[in-house]
Structure 1
């Protein structure tokens, strides 16, 4: 893991911009001088709400794009503009119970958290872009560390995303472009409400502040930090115990 503060982030491209953690990161970026945002999300109305806030509060230039990762035909993204930071925070828990017997739901979970992101990640980490300074942050999950009976489709998709992005990380070794893979534990949000103990949930604002201390850090990291020892224990649990998780 390499630590570096690097230059100031002046522009950000955000996929999954309506997620709670992405909104917190956008606000924190704007507070630190970021003045150009391109926001991509499925919920265009909520996306426009964030865009208005960034314009009105911070005077930022903001554009929005509607993106559905579950579209039947994969997109071929094109980038006509270079950004300092590319943030990929898209994803969905889906219906884990339904996915056990419904192949379509299982496929949607995989597409929302992994395969639907591949065209975007491929376009971002282009041979030309990685020759220039910049950063890619990708949110995976601690669920990638071990299969659990309660959400193994989600965990498998996040594990696939993790390994794919690890390949991007190694590809960019020694290049100016920094790849940062974030194995996130529970973050307080509508997605985790009622599904995670509040004591184990970090606030989106704290996650944003922690990440922006070293915005051009490279490598794979577990956030918040206390999930690292917790997952070390989970990975070593006997099968009989893990089956109850």
Structure 2
């Protein structure tokens, strides 16, 4: 679970534990919040939980080492960053790209190894509907998520004829500290509902938009003339 402190990742962990999952490995930068989730999984469900501190913004991150096979790998890490600052600060622009795309490549490469994809399992990667069209309000974040989407689409096609299922999730707004004050509450889906919906078909493959109603909304956004899109 890469990005285990996100609200949707936490909800997925709880939902998995309720369904009988008893082994978790949580990776996150915020070790206190990561440990808090680990304690909850242990005390409520008797799960065996290990934690690992990672920082996707390290200038020279260590090569990931995966010593254990899991049925499901979830990549939910990401950060909006400071969009206004990124317009003039190249370091902030690079940090947004690294947190949402390039910093994830070593982990995705380690997960989708030739040995792993020849066995049953699944990888879920959270991208964003922001990848669908560049917008002046957050184009660094959208570009990073678009890069992640295309990279993972390549992984999806590479695993097409294998037992390993790659699932790419273009998420709309999900209620979380990251979207607090950034999005109208009416457009923010509850992470618990997202978790329940996704676990109905845990080994589904492909690219999907969540919640489903963001798909027609983004189809409209993609067709907006530039003079209207410039206001988004």
Identify the match of residue 151 of structure 1 among 138, 145, 150: 138
Whether 2:194 is the aligned partner of 1:207: answer yes
Distance of 1:136 and 1:21 partners within structure 2: 15
Q: Which residue of 2 aligns with 1:140?
A: 127
Q: Number of paired residues?
A: 232
Distance of 2:53 and 2:64 partners within structure 1: 13
Q: Which residue of 2 aligns with 1:162?
A: 149
**CA deviation map 1:110-160 (0-9, x unaligned):** 000000000000000000000000000000000000000000000000000
Q: Which residue of 2 aligns with 1:218?
A: 205
The CA RMSD measured in Å over matched residues stands at 0.4
* Mapping 1:93-242, distance limit 5 Å: 93-242=80-229
Provide runs of 4+ in structure 1 moved above 2 Å.
none
Distance of 2:37 and 2:150 partners within structure 1: 31
Distance of 1:163 and 1:237 partners within structure 2: 23
Structure 1 residue 177: Cα displacement: 0.1
In structure 2, stretches of 5+ residues that fail to align are none
Distance of 2:163 and 2:65 partners within structure 1: 21
Distance of 1:30 and 1:87 partners within structure 2: 14
Whether 2:50 is the aligned partner of 1:81: answer no
Structure 1 residue 75: Cα displacement: 2.3
Structure 1 residue 78: Cα displacement: 1.3
Q: Which residue of 2 aligns with 1:5?
A: none
Q: Which residue of 2 aligns with 1:47?
A: 34
Structure 1 residue 74: Cα displacement: 2.8
Partner SS state of residue 139, structure 1? strand
In structure 1, stretches of 5+ residues that fail to align are 1-13
Q: Which residue of 1 aligns with 2:48?
A: 61
